[in-house]
Amino acid sequence: EISKTDEYRKIRQIDLITIRKLVLELEKLNWIMRNVWNDMKNYLKNLND
């Protein structure tokens, strides 16, 4: 019983770490995409000027 609970706890810890890493990566991607989007808008605006 105890060992199963410990295993479960370990798995949950790993899941939390994995989720945190994923969230960090998503935030980075979000930042990159926002910059790309702004660059594109500026580029298109400059084309029209």
Please provide residue 14's backbone torsions phi and psi, each rounded to the nearest 5 degrees: -60, -45
| Residue 40: both structure tokens together | 């594109």
For residues 46 and 34, what is the distance between their CA atoms, to the nearest angstrom? 18
Give the tokens for residue 19: 């989720």
Structural domain of 20 = 1-49
Token pair, residue 7, equals: 């295993």
pLDDT value for 29: 98
pLDDT of residue 19: 95
Total count of domains within the chain: 1
> Quick check: pTM over 0.85?
no
Distance CA 48, CA 40 (A): 13
Cα–Cα distance measured from residue 11 to residue 49, given in angstroms and rounded to the nearest whole number: 57
Over residues 1-49, the pLDDT tens digits come to 678 889 888 888 889 999 999 999 999 999 999 999 999 999 999 998 8
Q: What is the pLDDT of residue 25?
A: 98
